[in-house]
Structure 1
Amino acid sequence: MSVAVDYEQAGELKIGQVGIANLRIRTLDVPRLVEEMRSRVQRAPNMFGRAAVVIDFGGLSHTPDAATAQALLDGLRAAGVLPVALAYGTSETDRLAQALGLPLLAKFRASYERGDGGVAEVAAAAPRREAVAAAVAPAAEPAKASRSPVGAAAVSPASSVGMIQSTPVRSGQQIYADQRDLTVLTTVGAGAEVIADGSVHIYGPLRGRALAGAQGNAKARIFCREFYAELVAIAGHYKVLEDIPKDLRGKPVQVWLEDEQIKIAALD
C-alpha cells in the first residue's frame, strides 16, 4: 500500500535584504549610548521606536565583557529599540554573542568613515523596503547637524528660507534641517544622509540617502540634479536603489508622495 507524502514545506525560508539599523559603538559609555538612543526614539518614534538594531563592537579596541554588553542591551531596550544581533567581528565577539544568546550577522557592517566625536553611529546597513517602511520608518532622526554622531559638515546659519549646505556631505555624515527646507549646493556622497522636515534640494549628485518630510509632511519633495540615491523617503515612505528604474539613474529627478506611494520622475 502506497502512502502519500507531503513534500511541501510548511514554512519557506529565504535569505534576503531586510530593514535593520546598525549601531556601531565608538565609545563604551553605556549611560550615554542609552541616552542618545532614547533621544533618537523620542524625536522620531516612527522610525526608531521598536526598531531592530544590530550592535557592532568593531569600533572598539577591546570587546566588552558580557555584563557590560548585557547592560547596554537592557538599556537600549528600555530606550525603545530592540537589539537583535551582534555584528560579525572577532572570535571574542562570537563568544560574547553566545554568552548573550544573540546571533552574529556576518558581513553586515555598513560603510563608515571614521571621524571625531560622538559615541555611536546608526546606519542603514540594508535599507527598509516598502513592505516594512510604514511600520518602522515614517520619520528620520532629527539630530541637529552640530550634534551629528560622526561630525556633520559645516552648515550656513539658519535663515527663513531654509538651510543651505555649501560643502559636500561625505560618507557617515548627516545633515538635518529642522522645520525647514534643506538645499545642498554640492554632492551627497554614498553613505551620507540629508534630512529635512521640509523639502530637499540637491544641486549635485545624490549618492547617499535623502529624507524629506521627516516629521510627516507628505507635501515635501526631493529634487536632485544627478540621481543615484541609495534611498529616498518622504513622510516615512521609502524606496531603495533596487526599486528605482534604471533609466532614471544619473538624471535630474523629483521625488514626491502620491496616494501613499513614492513617485519618481525625470525633470524636463
Structure 2
Amino acid sequence: MTLLRGRRDGLEVTLPEHALDAGLDQLAARLAQQPSFYNGSSAVANFGTAVPTLEIIGRLRAVLSDAGITLRGLAGGSAVEELAVNAGLLFESRPEIKLSDSARSLIADFAGARKDIAARRRRGEASVPRLRAEPKEARQPALRLVEAHPTARYETATLRGGQALHHTGNIVVVGDINPGAEVVATGDIVVFGRLAGIAHAGAAGDAKSRIFAVELAPTQLRIATYIAAEQGAGRRDASPEVALVRDGQITILALSRLGELPAASMTT
C-alpha cells in the first residue's frame, strides 16, 4: 500500500517494500485525482527495508513532478544512504525492523489462509461462524492507566481492497478497513472505523493480542495461530467490539463487557 502524508517540512511518500512498481502506479493514480493540490510542495520517499534502483527513483521523480512535487530526499536503511548521495538527495535514517523466521512464517500462513477463505466463498461454502461469549449481567469495566506502546503505528486513512498494512508492534487505524484489505501486527489492532477486511493481531505468536473496532464485520480474524472468519454483511447491531482468544478460540465481545473477563480467560 502506498501512503502519502503531510509533515511539517512537506510530504512523505511510503512505498510498499515488495511491490515498488505497483506502489508507483498507485501513487500516480492518487495524485491524478487532485492534480494541483500538492503543487509546489516537496517530498521524502520512505522505502522501508527495500533498496530501490536508480530507475525506480527516476520514475518516482517523474510521478511527483507531474503533480508539481519535488523529490527532496530518501528515507530507509543504511543501504539507501549511498543511493541518496548518488542521486543528489538528502537522506533520512530509519530503524531497520526485521521479523523473526517464525513471524515471517505466520505472515505467509496468513496469506495462504486468506486465499483459502476466498476460494471457499467462491464455491459458496459457509464461513466459520461468529463466536460470542455467554451473556452476563452488564457492569462497568474497570479503568486503568497504561503506558503507550513505544512502537505503535498510527494511520489516518481508509484501507481499500488490495492494500495491506504490516507493523512490528500495535497498529491504530483511524478509518475503515474495506473488504480485500489486510492489517497485520505483532501486537494489538485498533480500528476507529469499520473493520470489514482481514486483521491479524499477535502475528509473532502472542495470543494475548486483541483486535478492537467500532464496527467489527471482518472477512477474517486471526490472533497468533487462531483463525476465524465470518460474513459481515447485513449486520444491524454494529457497536464497538473486541476480538480475543478465550478457551482456545477467537471470541467477540461488546467492548463494554471487556472488564468482566478475568485476565486468565483472555489467554487460555
TM interval, shorter chain, is 0.3 to 0.5
TM-score (norm 2): 0.42
TM-score (norm 1): 0.42
